[in-house]
Structure 1
Amino acid sequence: MKNLVLFFSIAVIALLLISCEAEDRGYLPSYSGSGGELIVVCSNPLWNGPFGDSIQAVFRTPVYGLPQDEPQFDLVHTTAPDFKRIFKTFRNVIYVDLDSTRMTKPEAQMKRNVWAQQQLVFFLKASESKELFKIISEEGYKMSEAFNTMELNRLYARNKRMGEKKIGKKIKENLGYEIITQQDAFLVNDTSSSIWLRIEREKPKGGFQHQISQGILLNVLPYVDRSQFLDSNILVLRDSLMKANLPGPSEGSYITTEYKYIPPKIEEINFNGHYGVEIRNLWRMENNFMGGPMISYFILDEERDNIIALTGYVYCPQFDKREFLREVQAIMRSVVIPEPA
């Protein structure tokens, strides 16, 4: 089989927030589709065969740490003749070109802003269906990371344009770190070492309005040594921070880690050039009946001997959680650690 040629940068799939605004082409329309939607353009035989199965296996992998299974992406399939008008402006696109007369190596080429602003498109080109299957088998998860990162980029760009700038300024004054917040966010507590940021709204469903609560706890702690980043130590530390700073609606209630159903998933990450860990799992309300998904980042600022601890949670029992958790994640991923003086 011909060797695979990849034309997308590994840097793009790193978990870095890169503003899309600099690459926007003003004459293009805005992207369409809801958060997490991905359209796959290929023939019906391809979609109904092993290639389509491989797409489903990669891009519909459940998001870890949600109370009910939700896929990484909501997939939409169409064929090339039907790929026009609103489909062309879809936010995330995989466009498949299978040409049996093709003599060159199979390609996976990534492009931004092809038919719409802030759009991400992967062009897959091959002469045989088995080559397309190989592309997805070997590179599909990197493509998934790229699409997920682009979703965060869009939220970051939106928050930078429409977010609560006064809150970001207040956080920088108190803690020394810049963060881009979402519209309608408000501060509950703010001190020189801790910030509790919340977003409260309602959304209709079944003829009734239902609560959607999102929150972020930001703490700055002294760094002593790497043992603080051991799995057991960091979970104990996070639980103590939540108990002290995230009280619930009734007396004696507070947010804590739910260990019973989904074990915390802890991974080391590169957070914009700084060592960190990401934690995904569920939370529950001690002495109350509430719970939902949670994501945390613990980041090492070696220059200032600080640990930046971020924990974001979502409470929306009537709705899917994936996109609400992504909104929280985009705010946390926007934290900027100042360069050394």
Structure 2
Amino acid sequence: MRGLLKVSGLLILVTIWIGCQGDYRANARGGFGEVTVVVDSSELKSQTVQAIQETYGRYIATLPTRPPEPLYDLRFTDFNNDDQLEQLKRNKNLIIAAPIDDSTNTARWIRALLSDEVEQQVRNGESFAFPMQNQWYQDQWTMILTASSDSALAEQIHNSEQTLTDNLLRKEFERWKEDIYGQGEQVALADSIWANHGWKIRVQHDWQRRIDTTYTKDGEQQHFLTMRRPLPENDRWFWAWWKNDVKDISFLDSDWINAKRDSLTRQWIRGTRDSSYVTTEYARAVETESFQLNGYPAYETLGTWQMTHDAMGGPFANMTVYDEENDRLFLLEFGQFAPKYDKRRFVRQFRTMLRTFSADSAWSDTLTGVAAER
């Protein structure tokens, strides 16, 4: 994957110059989840186009939507003149794909963007993917995909599916962070959680704290906190559980995470009926991925919840984080009930907010408990 990080020296210099001088260009256009794919019109049935559809356009298995929502909404297009090319350059998310030595307009554009040295790396099979940021407009993501042949490029795309989609997803998280907190932020609420509990996430402007309690279960002290953002036809909630003095996490895997989640939602996230509570809908996909979150070992779990004894359900996004320095284990989760709304958009907002988590490295748990609030 060396090629994924390589762009021409000219492009790097342009980026540095813009950063130093101040970027006064207009913003790129299009939605966060929309991707314009530039390929020659004669290549719409190529292996490359199929690989792009199966990578960037694959269905999201963890969303409760019918029909299923794709990872990104793809629009395939071509250009025949400079005016059309200039219009393409305005798009927020742009994939430019063609074999390096094709005679198409797209391939010629790719060769114009890459240096001779990088072109040779492509022909040698050493590089195939070249991400660019803000190349023509602000807040723009571009990915050049090229190889020695159509079949070679398709194979490279399939082999690097996760890396390619993660590259765009990181850009989308940056955008959502600006959008979410640009509308307002409850700094005082986040600071209160930090002061009282030694951790925090950034809190959107209209979320309300509901439960904040310390309790004993199986002879061990545990902590639970909830927030809610109730809106008409779009109810969203957040909960956090944490436990101190966790010195060994060898037990931590997807089975433990989901069992713990279910035990917590059964106790704390309940419906209007006495017998109803939120639990995981295992008939749908539930996916867990491990990674490093701001230096912490973390597991992200995505899936669908359902309400027992009630016809309700929706998506959730969970982050399980271990603070190695202070032996503290955290589970944090957002859920939503909004049958009439786009699920992909809100889950990506939830995933963005979870990624703002941080823990106090100097924390010492001297509190014996906090009274529950509802």
Shared fold (TM-score greater than 0.5)? yes
Instruction: Report deviation, 1:289.
Output: 2.1
1:40 aligns with 2:37: yes
Partner Cα distance (1:7, 1:231) in 2:
30
**Partner SS state of residue 192, structure 2:** helix
Aligned pair count? Answer: 316
Aligned counterpart in structure 2 of residue 144 of structure 1, from 162, 165, 181 = 165
What is the aligned partner in structure 1 of residue 71 from structure 2? 72
Please tell me the residue identity of whatever aligns with 1:75: L
Please tell me the residue identity of whatever aligns with 2:121: K
* Paired residues of 1:33 and 1:91 also in contact (CA < 8 A): yes
What is the aligned partner in structure 1 of residue 261 from structure 2? 238
Instruction: Report deviation, 1:308.
Output: 1.2
Aligned counterpart in structure 1 of residue 230 of structure 2, from 200, 207, 219 = 200
* Paired residues of 2:46 and 2:150 also in contact (CA < 8 A): no
Please tell me the residue identity of whatever aligns with 2:269: L
What is the aligned partner in structure 1 of residue 116 from structure 2? none
Partner Cα distance (2:275, 2:28) in 1:
46
1:155 aligns with 2:176: yes
Partner Cα distance (1:23, 1:276) in 2:
35
RMSD, matched Cα:
2.7
Partner Cα distance (2:21, 2:60) in 1:
29
Partner Cα distance (1:146, 1:239) in 2:
32
In the superposition, relative to structure 1, how do residues 5 and 283 fare at CA in structure 2: closer, same or farther (>3 Å)? closer
Instruction: Report deviation, 1:243.
Output: 2.2
**Partner SS state of residue 248, structure 1:** coil
Partner Cα distance (2:133, 2:254) in 1:
37
Partner Cα distance (2:22, 2:90) in 1:
13
What is the aligned partner in structure 2 of residue 84 from structure 1? 86
**Partner SS state of residue 174, structure 2:** helix
* Paired residues of 1:66 and 1:293 also in contact (CA < 8 A): yes
Partner Cα distance (2:332, 2:235) in 1:
17
Bigger drift between 96-105 and 59-68 goes to 96-105
* Paired residues of 1:239 and 1:256 also in contact (CA < 8 A): yes
Bigger drift between 29-38 and 49-58 goes to 29-38
What TM-score results when the alignment is normalised by the length of structure 1?
A: 0.82
In the superposition, relative to structure 1, how do residues 174 and 31 fare at CA in structure 2: closer, same or farther (>3 Å)? farther
What is the CA deviation profile of residues 310-340 of structure 1, one whole-angstrom value per residue up to 9, with x for unaligned ones?
1121212123311111111111111123446
Please tell me the residue identity of whatever aligns with 2:266: K
In the superposition, relative to structure 1, how do residues 25 and 188 fare at CA in structure 2: closer, same or farther (>3 Å)? farther
In the superposition, relative to structure 1, how do residues 93 and 227 fare at CA in structure 2: closer, same or farther (>3 Å)? same
* Paired residues of 1:214 and 1:328 also in contact (CA < 8 A): no
* Paired residues of 1:174 and 1:191 also in contact (CA < 8 A): no
5+ residue gaps, structure 1, are: 10-21, 203-210
Partner Cα distance (1:23, 1:33) in 2:
27
Please tell me the residue identity of whatever aligns with 2:268: N
What is the aligned partner in structure 2 of residue 205 from structure 1? none
* Paired residues of 2:207 and 2:227 also in contact (CA < 8 A): yes
Partner Cα distance (1:24, 1:251) in 2:
62
Please tell me the residue identity of whatever aligns with 1:150: K
Please tell me the residue identity of whatever aligns with 1:258: E
Bigger drift between 300-309 and 180-189 goes to 180-189
In the superposition, relative to structure 1, how do residues 96 and 123 fare at CA in structure 2: closer, same or farther (>3 Å)? same
Partner Cα distance (1:232, 1:132) in 2:
37
What is the aligned partner in structure 1 of residue 351 from structure 2? 329
What is the aligned partner in structure 2 of residue 248 from structure 1? 271
What is the aligned partner in structure 1 of residue 52 from structure 2? 55
Instruction: Report deviation, 1:77.
Output: 1.4
**Partner SS state of residue 155, structure 1:** helix
Higher strand share: 1
What TM-score results when the alignment is normalised by the length of structure 2?
A: 0.76
In the superposition, relative to structure 1, how do residues 66 and 116 fare at CA in structure 2: closer, same or farther (>3 Å)? same
What is the aligned partner in structure 1 of residue 288 from structure 2? 266
1:93 aligns with 2:115: no
Instruction: Report deviation, 1:112.
Output: 0.8
